[in-house]
A and B are shown apart, each in its own frame.
Chain A
Amino acid sequence: MIALVPLIPLFQVADPQLPATEGVFLIGTVVKMLIVFSVYMVGVAMLTLAERKISAWIQDRHGPNRVGYGWLQPAADGVKNIMKEETYPGTANLPLFVLAPAISFIPAMITWAVIPFASPLPTPWGRIDMVVADLPVGFLFCLAISSLGVYGIVLAGWSSNNKYALLGGLRSSAQMISYEIAMGMATVCVLLLSGNVSISAIIQQQATMGWNVFLLSIAFFIFLVASFAETNRLPFDLPEAESELVAGYHTEYSAMKFSLFFIAEYANMVTASALITSLFFGGWDIPFTQWDNLPPFTVLKTILTLGAFLTKVLFFLFFFMWIRWTVPRFRYDQLMSLGWKLMLPLALAYITIIGTVVLVLDRAGIARGPMFGAILFGMNVVLVVLLFVVLDRGRIVSPAYSRLDREEVARLRNMSLGKSTLAEKKV
């Protein structure tokens, strides 16, 4: 109690438009953490329901409709998973086996700390930024933390001491490393435009120049595809491909530990949607107006921008589910060739193009504003059309339903027999 006494002067009434003092900042951060965490967890629980309802809608079924007309299904699932018996494989590496579900879930949640979700909120004690921690290295923090998610899956696969689980873990680590590179390269373009790695700065740049999805369309496509691979969602769910690996890395898990992997998948989806929103769709920016970005900040602005942010995130969550029930799973060689032979070179080429254009426009003395954005948009339309023309010939990525020609079959057979490509050329 005595320690609290010197804190009282810190809560003096201050200008609502200026940043809050230390004490208010501390309390505000704790409140923000609690709110974001609760909303996030409830949201993730409701997403499992949303996925089942949307899948039912797409497949022309009813979906869950018994427990509270379907609305209480997540609660029923939760209770069931907690009540169930937890089984441990006899030869499992127990510490890592227990640790793995937590490691796969926590990184997805930590990433939310740096994502701004509304315009600053004015309070009687000063202005409070609507982000848990506005790190100056915000975006790099996201990349660093999301690259750790792979450990959960890899450790789950290894510690289960089960060959299907191990195969799932190996597939997942190979897949995530491959697509992480393409993802990182795609975001280099975003950093080229914003000139800063703080997510608030990236959102501010999009408010003045236009959303990055129009300025950097190809980078957006690469990021979108890579985030499907990073979240292990269809069409990239090879780590848990049921038809090949039983259930992949979580074969040996039961009850709440299995449920944690399930929650982690949805948590990753939410985080990926929020990142796509922040990097390419202007974050909490309301389109066609500058009203929301400029001070003075009001409570109304905070509520409206929060609405804009949530709308965008929910759209991408829907998009994730939509794709899941539309597109079949890739073959493993298709997955690898898409990542390494198409997306990575494409991202590198795109960085070069964007870098050149930005340099030329800067030298030409065009200010970073709507005009700058319009020129980039025009260039992107041309590039996207060119890219679609090239891709549509079906040479780079052969569709899953296309028949393999004889040479391709021979090549795949050689691969499975362990013959190298050099030997194949001699034949």
Chain B
Amino acid sequence: MGNEFLPLLYSFHFYLFGLLAIAAALAFVTRKSPVAAAMWLITTMFALAALYVMMDAQFIGVMQVLVYAGAIMVVFVFVVMLLNLGHPSEISDIRGKWGRLIAGFLGIALLAEILALTRDPMDLRLVVPVIPATVNGTGGIIGGVAGPLFREYLLAFELTSILLLIAIAGAVVLGRKRSAADAR
């Protein structure tokens, strides 16, 4: 398409996925059936992934779907189905008057923050290194992520992976202790 059509197409998709993400997130917090809520959360993830792709961060978009929608949420749904939480009408997350007040206050505060930022735009832009989206050299589009990760930030990367390993080992140990106690 000519150059005059592309920005229109872009903003159309931006608003489409942005509104979808917000609507799905609202549906997610208001549904009472846990499985329906999980499905709405997955929809939100999808819309976010689409927004990432529109910002030329295709790798992050794909990872969003692969990790959150494809792995974590599957386990969530799996557990929800196993627990069988009973009839949806008996479950509620709303915790009395104070809970509602605090939630409402937080919501207004966040909205005010956004309004203040749009009223007085500070230069809050992160300085992102410019990586062309369609690199055809070594590594393709992943090279832009993998290069810095495994060269400049190798130590931090390895430390993070050790932290995750410790977390996994800790989860196994905690799970084991309980079953040993049951066996006695």
Residues of B close to A158: CB separation below 8 A: 35, 77, 81
Contact A144 B183 (CB under 8 A): no
Partner of A197, one of B39, B78, B141: B141
Contact B71 A140 (CB under 8 A): no
Does A227 interact with chain B (Cβ within 8 Å)?
no
Residues of B close to A287: CB separation below 8 A: none
Contact A154 B77 (CB under 8 A): yes
Contact B78 A6 (CB under 8 A): no
Alpha-carbon distance between A26 and B5 when the two chains are bound, in angstroms: 13
Contact A96 B82 (CB under 8 A): no
Alpha-carbon distance between A166 and B77 when the two chains are bound, in angstroms: 12
Does A141 interact with chain B (Cβ within 8 Å)?
yes
Interface centre among A10, A137, A174, A420, by most B CB within 10 Å? A137
Chain A, residues 186-201, CB within 8 Å of chain B (1/0): the string is 0000000001111001
B57 to chain A, nearest CB (A): 10
A139 to chain B, nearest CB (A): 10
Contact B66 A147 (CB under 8 A): yes
- A residues 220-258 in Cβ contact with B at 8 Å: none
Contact B66 A422 (CB under 8 A): no
Contact B35 A155 (CB under 8 A): yes
**Interface size classification for chain A:** 35 or more
Residues of B close to A2: CB separation below 8 A: none
Does A75 interact with chain B (Cβ within 8 Å)?
no
Contact A423 B74 (CB under 8 A): no
Residues of B close to A426: CB separation below 8 A: 183
Partner of B71, one of A96, A145, A177, A196: A177
Alpha-carbon distance between A420 and B134 when the two chains are bound, in angstroms: 53
B23 to chain A, nearest CB (A): 16
Residues of A close to B155: CB separation below 8 A: none
Given A151-B77, A177-B75: A93 in contact with B141 (beta carbons within 8 A): no
Residues of B close to A154: CB separation below 8 A: 74, 77-78, 81
Of all chain A residues, which has the CB nearest B183? A423
Alpha-carbon distance between A394 and B35 when the two chains are bound, in angstroms: 42
Alpha-carbon distance between A154 and B66 when the two chains are bound, in angstroms: 17
Alpha-carbon distance between A22 and B134 when the two chains are bound, in angstroms: 16
Given A148-B69, A151-B74, A169-B81: A196 in contact with B59 (beta carbons within 8 A): no
Of all chain B residues, which has the CB nearest A3? B5
Contact B66 A143 (CB under 8 A): yes
Q: How many chain B residues touch A (Cβ–Cβ < 8 Å)?
A: 36
Does B126 interact with chain A (Cβ within 8 Å)?
no
Does A136 interact with chain B (Cβ within 8 Å)?
yes
- B residues 63-118 in Cβ contact with A at 8 Å: 63, 65-66, 69-71, 74-75, 77-78, 81-82
Does A354 interact with chain B (Cβ within 8 Å)?
no
Chain B, residues 51-68, CB within 8 Å of chain A (1/0): the string is 000000011011101100
Contact B58 A26 (CB under 8 A): no
Residues of B close to A155: CB separation below 8 A: 35, 39
Q: Majority SS of interface residues in chain B?
A: helix
Residues of B close to A150: CB separation below 8 A: 74
Of all chain A residues, which has the CB nearest B77? A154
Residues of A close to B74: CB separation below 8 A: 147, 150-151, 154, 173, 176-177
Interface centre among A136, A158, A170, A423, by most B CB within 10 Å? A136
Does A63 interact with chain B (Cβ within 8 Å)?
no
Partner of B35, one of A96, A137, A143, A176: A96
Does A23 interact with chain B (Cβ within 8 Å)?
yes
B180 to chain A, nearest CB (A): 5
Does A331 interact with chain B (Cβ within 8 Å)?
no
Alpha-carbon distance between A148 and B59 when the two chains are bound, in angstroms: 17
A144 to chain B, nearest CB (A): 4
A205 to chain B, nearest CB (A): 12
Residues of B close to A145: CB separation below 8 A: 65
Q: Name A residues whose Cβ lies closer than 8 Å to a Cβ of B.
A: 6-7, 10, 22-23, 26, 93, 95-96, 135-137, 140-141, 143-145, 147-148, 150-151, 154-155, 157-159, 166, 169-170, 173-174, 176-177, 180, 195-198, 201, 419-420, 422-423, 426
Instruction: Write 26 A-B pairs (CB below 8 A) sorted by A numbering.
Output: A6-B2, A7-B2, A22-B1, A93-B33, A93-B35, A96-B35, A136-B133, A137-B59, A137-B142, A141-B62, A143-B70, A144-B63, A144-B66, A147-B71, A148-B65, A154-B77, A155-B35, A158-B77, A195-B140, A196-B142, A197-B140, A198-B140, A198-B141, A201-B140, A420-B179, A423-B183
Q: Name B residues whose Cβ lies closer than 8 Å to a Cβ of A.
A: 1-2, 33, 35-36, 39, 42, 58-59, 61-63, 65-66, 69-71, 74-75, 77-78, 81-82, 133-135, 138-142, 176, 179-180, 182-183
8 further contact pairs, Cβ within 8 A, besides A147-B74, A180-B71, A422-B183: A96-B36, A143-B70, A144-B70, A151-B74, A155-B39, A170-B82, A196-B140, A198-B140
